[in-house]
Amino acid sequence: MEKIHAIMENCRLFAGIHGSDIKTLLDCLSAKHRHFKKNSFIFTAGDAMDSIGLVLSGAAHILRDDFWGKRTIVARIEPGRLFGVAFVFAGIDKLPVGIMAVENSEVLLINSRRILKPCSSACSLHAHLIKNLMLLLAENNIALIQKLEYITQPSTRKKLLAYLSEQAQLAGKSTFNIPFNREELANFLSVERSAMSAELSKMKDDGLLLYKKNHFELLKNDLDT
């Protein structure tokens, strides 16, 4: 329980809620603690979704499959991050994406109706929670805009440079790890894996970067190369 409290206190949705208020809120929201094995689905496309999820450990991917079965990674959800917020509160009947645990994971499922409907004791925490929810939805929109900046670049190289540049900025240094393997990165950036791997090799030869598995080092900031 202490682990759950610590992660909740660092989650944007529960910002400013601490101590005994966490337990009160968990009871009020009918939260359920669940375990999922690696590569198992937390929710599948087409499911009716009435809960949002908070990843406590492991990681999850939001996945979209097209008509021909080609899979795209929409987002990666790591500990302390939420999933399903936009879908639930938009009132979508059937989930248009799948949510898969890509590692052995612990997830807290929170009844969405209990967030918007105050409890019988008129819990004052709800007003704080809804304010946080509005801020969270705005931040999620910003994250989607950032992804659009990657995938709308005109070439595989520019998509890679846009993504890797931002990862370096987030890390605050030129060396950093990314959370994807090669196949996952290709899916995330909406490019062919073989073409992406070939482009990475060319970028290395051109002196733009060094890499080993998911560890990268950017050597110069020449986005027009």
- Residue 205 sits in a domain of what CATH number? 1.10.10.10
Residues 176 and 128 both lie in one domain:
no
Q: What is the CATH number of the domain that holds 95?
A: 2.60.120.10
Q: What's the confidence (pLDDT) of residue 158?
A: 95
In tens, the pLDDT along 159-179 reads 999 999 999 998 999 999 999
Distance from C-alpha of 161 to C-alpha of 154, rounded to nearest angstrom: 12
CB 54 within 8 A of CB 108: yes
Domain boundary, last residue among 128, 145, 162 = 145
Residues 10 and 90 both lie in one domain:
yes
pTM across the whole model: 0.74
Q: How many domains does the chain divide into?
A: 2
Residues 138 and 197 both lie in one domain:
no
Nearest to 40 by CA among 60, 57, 66, 64: 60
Q: Does the residue 223 lie in any domain? A: no
Q: What's the confidence (pLDDT) of residue 1?
A: 63
Residues 137 and 174 both lie in one domain:
no
Q: Does the residue 138 lie in any domain? A: yes
Residues 128 and 194 both lie in one domain:
no
In tens, the pLDDT along 193-214 reads 999 999 999 999 999 999 999 9
Q: What's the confidence (pLDDT) of residue 86?
A: 84
Distance from C-alpha of 109 to C-alpha of 107, rounded to nearest angstrom: 6
Question: What mean pLDDT do residues 136-150 have?
Answer: 84
Whole domain around residue 33: which residue ranges? Answer: 2-145
Residues 135 and 173 both lie in one domain:
no
Which of the four pLDDT bands, split at 50, 70 and 90, describes residue 118?
A: low
